[in-house]
Amino acid sequence: MFKQTKPIISIILPVHNTSPYLEECLNSIHNQSFKNYELICIDDGSSDNSYEILKKYEDIITNCKVIYQCNQGVASARNTGLKNVSGDYIVFIDSDDYIEYNYLERLYNESCNTDADVVICNFYRYYDNANLKLPVIYKKSSGLYSSHDILKSLIPDNLIHSYLWNKLWKKDLFDNLEFPDIKYEDISVMCDLFYKAKKISIISDTLYYYRIRKTSIVRNYSISTQNDYVKAYGIIRLFLKDKNLYDNYKFSFRLLSIKVYLVMFFINIFLISEYKSLKIIFENFASCHKFISSANSSNYNYTFDQLMNLEVLQSSLKNNAYKKGTE
């Protein structure tokens, strides 16, 4: 039921084959105490009955708009959502997650009271198979922070998690921004978003439920997913270069580099059964080390297009599997 009234908050909900969880998500949105919002649902070529569920709720939720597109990935779905928003604020929700009834109200009121460009709340990790929820509390205490405060913690991702959800964003932060076509599209744009923000508020309320499914855990260990993780890492370095900020955040970036190196090491071991030869493991270690070393040098010269074509991990032996950026 889409009404032509200007909403304050635009909710972007990408959907792809999440029918077992979708109604719980939509009900949590429908039951919000804050009503002045629009819901933009983008069905990204679902093969289950997710689209039918969305169409049903289009008649239930006021200002709900359902858009269908062929499967292009969550980054494309979010970009489609951004092109259709009309609110002053943006909220992202994953379609297998859900929110507390006062989620929108609490975040919006905080932004009004503090003039914050971004409001962040705590969240629960909800383990679907075990029916277990564990709160995730930010190590930074609640309060107002500057862009510099957040970037210093965000880059190594040890205090402020790089998730789009559990946050309220002012719409103008997304001007001229597009999510890249990789699986870690949120990590890759987060520095840019917080760089633009003048004030960021962290509140102590735990209001978002992040569902962890067994299938999502397995999927995160694929070679293609980990290559996208390295691309996101490279985009963060490119951001620091373009904004001339690398020297300001060199220590934070090196902490991130250690994390990336360790992740790549253990992923290589985990994926050993997929490799055709043990030599591939050593080649992958070498290419990871080479790229991370280049990212930590002052003459990092990768372009965005080069990063999008980067394949650090390989499942079989290839010539020129890793192409170094111009130096």
Q: What is the pLDDT of residue 268?
A: 77
* Choice among 185-189, 215-219, 264-268 with the minimum mean pLDDT: 215-219
- The percentage of residues in the chain with a pLDDT greater than 70, rounded to a whole number, is 91
CATH number (domain holding residue 184): 3.90.550.10
Q: Looking at the domain assignment, is residue 167 inside a domain?
A: yes
Looking at the structure, tell me whether residues 227 and 203 fall in a common domain. Answer: no
Q: What is the pLDDT of residue 129?
A: 82
Domain closes at, from 163, 198, 216: 216
Identify the band that residue 302 occupies on the pLDDT scale cut at 50, 70 and 90. very high
Looking at the structure, tell me whether residues 242 and 121 fall in a common domain. Answer: no
| 63 pLDDT higher than 80 | yes
Q: Looking at the domain assignment, is residue 59 inside a domain?
A: yes
Looking at the structure, tell me whether residues 182 and 302 fall in a common domain. Answer: no
Looking at the structure, tell me whether residues 300 and 201 fall in a common domain. Answer: no
Q: What is the pLDDT of residue 107?
A: 98
Nearest to 312 by CA among 237, 211, 229, 241: 229
Domain closes at, from 216, 241, 266: 216
| 201 pLDDT higher than 80 | yes
CA 78 to chain centroid, in Å, comes to 10
Looking at the structure, tell me whether residues 50 and 196 fall in a common domain. Answer: yes
Q: Give the C-alpha separation, 325 to 307, whole Å.
A: 9
Evaluate whether 52 touches 112 at the Cβ level (below 8 Å): no
Q: What is the pLDDT of residue 276?
A: 67
Looking at the structure, tell me whether residues 173 and 251 fall in a common domain. Answer: no
| 319 pLDDT higher than 70 | no
Q: What is the pLDDT of residue 226?
A: 85
Looking at the structure, tell me whether residues 177 and 150 fall in a common domain. Answer: yes
Q: Looking at the domain assignment, is residue 69 inside a domain?
A: yes
Identify the band that residue 1 occupies on the pLDDT scale cut at 50, 70 and 90. low
Q: What is the pLDDT of residues 236-250, one digit of tens each?
A: 999 999 999 999 999
Looking at the structure, tell me whether residues 255 and 181 fall in a common domain. Answer: no
Q: The whole model's pTM is what?
A: 0.91
Q: What is the pLDDT of residue 225?
A: 85
Q: Looking at the domain assignment, is residue 4 inside a domain?
A: no
Q: Looking at the domain assignment, is residue 319 inside a domain?
A: no
Looking at the structure, tell me whether residues 31 and 177 fall in a common domain. Answer: yes
* Choice among 140-144, 151-155, 157-161, 201-205 with the minimum mean pLDDT: 157-161
Evaluate whether 181 touches 76 at the Cβ level (below 8 Å): yes
Q: Looking at the domain assignment, is residue 250 inside a domain?
A: yes
Identify the band that residue 43 occupies on the pLDDT scale cut at 50, 70 and 90. very high
DSSP for 53-98, written as a single string = HHHHHHTTSTTEEEEEE-S--HHHHHHHHHHT--SSEEEE--TT-E
Q: What are phi and psi of 16, to 5 degrees?
A: -150, 105
Q: What is the pLDDT of residue 83?
A: 97
Domain that holds residue 235: 220-308
220: left (phi over 0), alpha (psi -120 to 50) or beta: alpha
Q: Looking at the domain assignment, is residue 315 inside a domain?
A: no
Looking at the structure, tell me whether residues 207 and 129 fall in a common domain. Answer: yes
Strand pairing of 9-15 and 37-44? parallel
Q: Give the C-alpha separation, 37 to 87, whole Å.
A: 7
As a whole number, the mean pLDDT across the chain is 90
Identify the band that residue 2 occupies on the pLDDT scale cut at 50, 70 and 90. low
Q: What is the pLDDT of residue 326?
A: 36
Q: What is the pLDDT of residues 93-115, one digit of tens each?
A: 999 999 999 999 999 999 999 99
Looking at the structure, tell me whether residues 166 and 237 fall in a common domain. Answer: no
The arithmetic mean of pLDDT across residues 1-26, rounded, is: 90
Looking at the structure, tell me whether residues 75 and 140 fall in a common domain. Answer: yes
125-129, 131-135, 197-201, 258-262: which is most confident? 197-201
| 216 pLDDT higher than 90 | no
Per the structure, how many domains does the chain have? 2
Q: Give the C-alpha separation, 78 to 76, whole Å.
A: 5
Q: Looking at the domain assignment, is residue 314 inside a domain?
A: no
